[in-house]
Chains A and B, each alone.
Chain A
Amino acid sequence: MINKGSRKLLEVKNLKAEVAGIEILKGVDLTICAGEVHAIMGINGSGKSTFSKVLAGHPDYTVTGGTAVFEGKDLFALEPEERARAGLFLAFQYPVEIPGVSNSALLRLAYNTMQNERGLEELDPLEFEDLVQEKIKVVEMDPSFLGRSVNEGFSGGEKKRNEILQMAVLEPKLAILDETDSGLDIDALRIVAKGVNSLLSPDNAVVMVTHYQRLLNYIVPDYVHVMDGGRIVRTGGKELALELEARGYDWLRAAA
């Protein structure tokens, strides 16, 4: 494991959350430091997607207990946009289509919002064009996608690559990839993984939320956490993912 003992980015303690009055998270503990790659695995309904949405501030979910400190700030006191500006990024499981807003406009407006937050100069459309042409190589996307409406008419794989493009442009401290591998064929998976790997640095961290071990062959985690029943029931190294692949989840559920 790399960069042991480095700076804490996120510290979640005993997090409880509900949606529509039903408790989904029942006490999650997780600490993520800069330079680390985490995987959160679990069956459908284990709470792993809820966990990522709660961290990003999805309004449908209510935090009922516990704390989360992100970059020294009380995460749950921040609006979703403030979390984003503080460096939290969620790659959506189901990326949203926004007809009428071009990909490049979205990226530029979002980028400049971050620049403002960081006290840096905004880029005008021409300057931004140069930047985005570099970033788009990360996900091997055709530049014609920049002129199209956000995700409109994109294939599943293109939508996921588009999420990673946003990540590349916004350069978050902590990126949560919510089932980014679902619905991807092997080529798209490789491209997405390559993109994410190229964005990793000792200063940032990635959390992959996934059902399958497949993605972890390409983005190798330092820690694998297994969620079940709204809690993290087991934490291990990357070999835990292989064990899950071989044995399924049942043995852990029984143990929990």
Chain B
Amino acid sequence: MTRDNMTITKEQCFEQLLLGKAVKSEGWLEHIRVEALERARALNFPSARHDDWRFTDLSALYLHDFHPVVAFARLNQDDIGEFVIPGAIRLVFVDGCFAAELSDLAQAGTGVTVASLVERLGDRKVEENFGRHAPYKQDAFAALNTNFFEDGAWIHIDGEATAPIHILHVATRREAASAIYPRCMVVMEPSSRATVVEDYVGLPLSKSPSLRSPPPQAGERANESLREFTLNDGIYFSNAVTEVVLKEHARLQHVRVQREGKNAFHIGHCSVEAARNSVYAATSVALGARVSRHTLHVVQQGEGAEMHLDGLALIAGRQIADTHTLINHAAPGGRSVQLHKCIAGGSAHAVFSGKVIVQEGAVGTDSAQSSRNLLLSGKARIDTQPQLEIFNDDVKCKHGATVGQINADALFFLRSRGFSEERARNLLTHAFAAEIIARIPVPILVETLSSTILERMGGGLNA
């Protein structure tokens, strides 16, 4: 019997997740875990009418019974070679389990702590911050993660991290559908600086150890110019939670790359708290997964904090990618700038919901949000929903959204310069995506992602 043929209900799917694998911890964390499990049980999956979830079609997720990963795969450096960022501080997790032998902490200098979270549970800083920001009491997915996470990344910066910190979450292809729970906690002390790259990848089939790979099925390639992502065709559910704390004057460049396998489900939540005069700059890129959801909540807790949120979702085939962001200006003089782009081909469905709240006391807030979207096929769909909630008069807020197709004038211009129509479309699509990709402060990642996007479009642009 293969699980693919089994049909289960949404309730059964949730029950199966709750069965999970009990991860025992000591003291304070065990209290949080127990509470989180209770909350998960009480919350259950969000209903289809839930305000935050009504655009996210999770029905494909509910069809599977996900099993906890008990025996972790052992990988070697070659297996993850293509994802390595040379010179970076690297922490690797395989199916949620910390892989010390693949990690590289050589570049971590004074004041830079990058470690397994579980190994640092005795650290007061961990206890003071963990679980204080992620909404595990309100959100079932955050609750499941908080109860079931095997290990996570602990990043504490007191000074300057000169090398980028690369948190690589690798999912291997397994026999049964698996549930994995990546976790990350970043604490930036006053005036500290760092670049953190969270990278969620489905390990390519050829690299997944000792597992059979079925031949590709006929008709699997999308007939659109944009191809489906095919890193790893295993079915798994990656349910990730990240918490970020920026103290006064801290600066964090936070990159998030989601390149999960084509049959993966990815639901990620990131909560950020920004203190006085801190700068939080996020660039998130969603390319993979059958269904993905990224929720980013940023609270401007202190005066004069700055937030830059850039995002790109580029999907095709039957992919669904949903990005929900919330920027909460809770203190005066804050500034937020957001540019989110969705590109959808095939019969893919992209969602962007971006809410900006300016609280009563947050006078002098300056906020600009822009949602720009590109439809590559008649069957693709993009929903964009910018929302502004302003509770004082002394603010400068603007937002705008566009959904369009490839610019006809630009297309004709390129054809008049000898480009075939397909090539011209690809060039323009790539250019549209490149604006976001280029903002990633890690050049080699910019290059890799750029060529990944070109490959997905069928190549032909590197002449």
List the interface of chain A (C-beta within 8 A of B): 56-59, 79-81, 83-85, 89-90, 92, 95-96, 98-101, 106, 109-110, 112-114, 117, 122, 149, 166, 170
Contacts and interface: CB of A to CB of B under 8 A. Distances in A.
Given A99-B435, A100-B435, A92 B413 contact: yes
Interface stretch (B163-171, B277-285, B404-412): B404-412
Contacts of B417: 84, 106, 110, 113, 166, 170
A115 to B, nearest CB: 9
Given A96-B413, A101-B431, 18 more contacts: A56-B416, A57-B415, A59-B408, A59-B412, A79-B421, A80-B412, A81-B421, A83-B416, A84-B415, A84-B418, A100-B430, A109-B463, A110-B417, A112-B463, A114-B418, A122-B463, A166-B417, A170-B418
A109 B421 contact: no
B432 interface: yes
Interface string B370-412: 0000000000000000000000000000000000000111101
Contact of B418 (A96, A101, A113): A113
A185 B231 CA distance: 55
B315 to A, nearest CB: 19
B304 to A, nearest CB: 30
B463 A100 contact: no
A110 to B, nearest CB: 4
B415 A79 contact: yes
A109 B410 contact: no
B222 interface: no
A81 B419 contact: yes
A110 B413 contact: no
A98 B419 contact: no
A109 B430 contact: no
Given A59-B408, A79-B421, A112-B463, A98 B415 contact: no
A101 to B, nearest CB: 5
A256 to B, nearest CB: 31
B20 to A, nearest CB: 44
Interface string B306-334: 00000000000000000000000000000
Contacts of A95: 413
Nearest to A89: B416
Contacts of A99: 431, 435
A181 B279 CA distance: 47
A114 B463 CA distance: 12
B428 A98 contact: yes
B420 interface: yes
A100 B410 contact: no
A89 B416 CA distance: 7
A55 to B, nearest CB: 10
B415 A80 contact: yes
B105 interface: no
17 contacts: A57-B415, A81-B419, A81-B421, A84-B417, A92-B416, A96-B413, A98-B428, A98-B431, A99-B435, A100-B430, A100-B433, A100-B434, A101-B428, A106-B417, A109-B463, A114-B418, A166-B417
Nearest to A88: B416
Contacts of B415: 57, 79-81, 84
Contacts of B272: none
B410 A81 contact: no
Contacts of B410: 96, 98
Nearest to A106: B417
Contact of A96 (B409, B419, B421, B433): B409
B269 to A, nearest CB: 30
B427 interface: yes
A83 B417 CA distance: 9
A147 to B, nearest CB: 13
Nearest to B460: A109
A122 B463 CA distance: 8
Contacts of A89: 416
A101 B427 contact: yes
A99 B432 CA distance: 7
A81 B463 contact: no
B408 to A, nearest CB: 7
B461 interface: yes
Interface string B419-463: 111001001101111110010000000000000000000000101
A160 to B, nearest CB: 14
Given A59-B412, A112-B463, A81 B431 contact: no
Given A79-B421, A85-B418, A100-B434, A109 B427 contact: yes
B407 to A, nearest CB: 8
Nearest to B433: A100
Contacts of B408: 59
A81 B427 CA distance: 15
Nearest to A53: B412
Contacts of A117: 418
